[in-house]
Structure 1
């Protein structure tokens, strides 16, 4: 990710909604309960039924302690009231969670992203060794994990562990992958392996981009993240793995990546800034959703980047990112968002 430093299974209700879930459960559990008696346990009496006393008829008492008999023929016993029905706690939880999931259109959702820099120190390729940077804050509702370790054909060395870490904390999972210009050996190896016309230079490069996507999807599956619905394509300069000076050639690689993910059934979006995108791929317009970076600024500046003046390639702004205390922070852009469209549990 860009930094200015050196470097449908039913989805659970978001953690921010858990207080509401608890309140609804407590309210529902009280529905139909008997009024509390003057003594005894939760049912209002020592062994009694739902009416608050022992089952059967009890003769009324009078001052002095004498018991007045009740003639059976003249005062029939009152029928016992029907026992209130109480749904089990599990049923209530499933019902409420289902309702919340169906209505999980929320706003201003805080999240994060992390990748190889947050792996334990010393992992990864020589040019991109991890350094154990801080992981997402506990308040994050989702984490977008990087599939690559720098260039597009080098895997994040701790992706599976990061996916497990995210799930253990009840956060939703997303995925992004850095795009990079291929080395000549990859063009020779993969240039004719794909859906594009290998007889043209642009087709060769697009086929290599297509294979980059397939490589990253293999990493996604190996980490147990195949259910993620969208892959964000990270387009920016990659130190030590520079893009070419030919913007059309670079655009061909990104076009191949986009098709590779789509052909595998994934939605796509792009991560970048207006300046970085233009510097790498020129006026390429995929028209896909955008995740916009604001660098080491603030939440306020990140939200400002959701505006039309910060458009990257003509797509809808979905998330914005800023760096704070050595962490990549993210916020959903203004307006309602359905988290299940972008993340998996």
Structure 2
């Protein structure tokens, strides 16, 4: 939800009044929100674990997230969140990194890291990849990357590549989820769900805290998607449900073209992180426009590649609610 200048002005007035009344010692609530470790996306909620086995074509829904008990007075955090020019929405620069940025030679043989450059110093947030390319293979240096983000007091979020299961994985995880694993589509949906569970273990082991997880939908070299778009789509839907049922908000990373060739007309209606390729900041901001919609969601970030780095910039309105999308270390 985007805040207008009028709303922000009203908020500032209330905050200042509250500070005066409290002798400038007021403190604020942690802005936790729904669907994700702290997000307020207005998506339907998922059936809680333990419900009846569901069809892989069911749209994943979101269960309510418990509001965290505030550790500080709500007033202080609200004031701290209004930094710089109050009510001014400006694009915020960030980055995304994963296994390619690990020290040379780490990871699985088909996805060995090359020691790609880290984020630029000006990056205010970093979206961290959980996988070493395809699903069921963890980012081999995620813990070190999280430690660096924490040491630099940056904001953080997470993303995971979703992939079509290898035959052995398809068999192993056919029943590891809420879908009917005796059917082909049900087994595939359970594989997507199991990929989410695997990634959550990876994320928690590395100490990564995030209000949401982005699902990266694109071709995965050496781990190709099938030619059956419906089958591919249920894998993605299964992953979406896995994250939602764990209490996380979700969004998707892709382009209109890549989404269409992998999952066809699947429409989750969740927030979008849109890629602009080897272009520019201006092109990434243009990707926030209404002509670049991927699957019916609102734009949050645009990405471009520059000097072998993945660069990102927030879309209009997002800078006014960064706590919805990132965890501040």
TM bucket by the smaller chain? Answer: 0.7 to 0.9
Q: Does 1:128 align with 2:111?
A: yes
Query: Which structure 2 residues correspond to residues 241-256 of structure 1 after superposition, within 5 A?
Result: 241-256=223-238
> Which of residues 267, 275, 279 in structure 2 aligns to 1:297?
279
Q: TM-score, normalising length from structure 2?
A: 0.74
**What is the deviation of 1:186?**
1.1
The question of 1:140 aligning with 2:140 is answered: no
1:272 aligns with 2:254: yes
- With over 3 angstroms needed to count, the CA separation of the structure-2 counterparts of 1:301 and 1:214, relative to structure 1, is same
1:173 to 128, 153, 156: 156
Residue 220 of structure 1: aligned partner: 203
Q: Aligned match of 1:100 in 76, 79, 82? A: 79
Query: Counterparts of 2:254 and 2:275 in 1: how far apart (Å)?
Result: 6
Larger Rg: 1
- In the other structure, the counterpart of 1:324 is 306
CA distance in 1, matches of 2:90, 2:318: 5
What CA deviation, in whole Å up to 9, does each residue of 1:4-32 have, x standing for no partner? xxxxxxxxxxxxxxxxxxxxxxxxxxxxx
Number of the residue aligned with 2:296: 314
Per the alignment, do residues 248 and 220 of structure 1 end up closer, same or farther by CA in structure 2, a change over 3 Å counting? same
After superposition, the Cα gap between the structure-2 partners of 1:314 and 1:256, relative to the gap in structure 1 and judged at 3 Å, is: same
1:259 and 2:238 aligned = no
Following the alignment from structure 1 to structure 2, what is the Cα–Cα distance between the partners of residues 98 and 342? 16
Point out where structure 1 has 5 or more consecutive residues left out of the alignment: 1-85, 89-93
**Deviation (angstroms), 1:96:** 9.4
State the aligned residue count: 257
Secondary structure, aligned partner of 2:215: strand
1:109: which partner in 2?
92
Change (3 A) 1:134 1:97: farther
SS at match of 1:262: helix
**Structure 2, gaps ≥5 residues long:** 1-22, 26-72
Report deviation, 1:102. Answer: 4.2
Determine helix, strand or coil for the equivalent of 2:252: strand
Q: Give distance in 2, aligned partners of 1:158 and 1:333.
A: 29
Q: In structure 2, the residue corresponding to 1:211 is in which secondary structure?
A: helix
Q: Secondary structure at the match of 2:258?
A: helix
Does the residue aligned with 1:193 lie in a helix, a strand or coil?
A: coil
CA shift, 1:99, in A, is 4.1
Query: Distance in 1 between the 2:280 and 2:272 partners?
Result: 19
What secondary structure sits across from 1:130 in the alignment? coil
* Equivalent-residue separation in structure 1 for 2:315 and 2:24 (angstroms): 39
Which residue is equivalent to 1:339?
A: 322
